Amino acid sequence: MCRQDRQPGRGPARTRAGSRFAFVDLFDDEGFYAGRDRALEVIANAGGEIGSAQRLSEIFTFRFPLNLAKVLEYAVIVTGTKSPTA
């Protein structure tokens, strides 16, 4: 893994071609933000090939207070790879 891949906030725009990434979107609440589709669009436009995108609450069972909307209820993890051609 290159040094760039380990720096937080860099996302797929700063990773090498073929590198894997994980992005946590804490703002998937469409009542306030653009929603998951917009985040996926930005990742794809930066050359990211999305492998999966799902809410953390679908992966883990959160107890109070982590299951609240102001904490992790709307958190989404997006994983994938940087396109070799990007």
Tell whether 44 is covered by a domain. Answer: yes
Helix ranges (H only) for 1-86 are 36-45, 56-59
Note whether residue 45 is domain-resident: yes
pLDDT at site 13: 52
Q: With cut-offs at 50, 70 and 90, classify the pLDDT of residue 14.
A: low
Asked if residue 7 is part of any domain, the answer here is no
The residue range of the domain holding 47 is 17-82
Task: Evaluate whether residue 10 is within a structural domain.
Answer: no
Residues in the chain, overall count? 86
In a domain, 1, yes or no: no
31 burial type by CB count under 10 A (0-12 exposed, 13-18 middle, 19+ buried): exposed
- Determine, yes or no, domain membership for 42: yes
pTM of the model: 0.70
Q: How many independent structural domains does the chain possess?
A: 1
Calpha distance 51→41 (Å, rounded): 13
Q: What pLDDT digit, counting tens, does each position of 27-82 carry?
A: 888 788 877 888 889 888 988 899 999 999 899 998 999 888 888 888 999 999 98
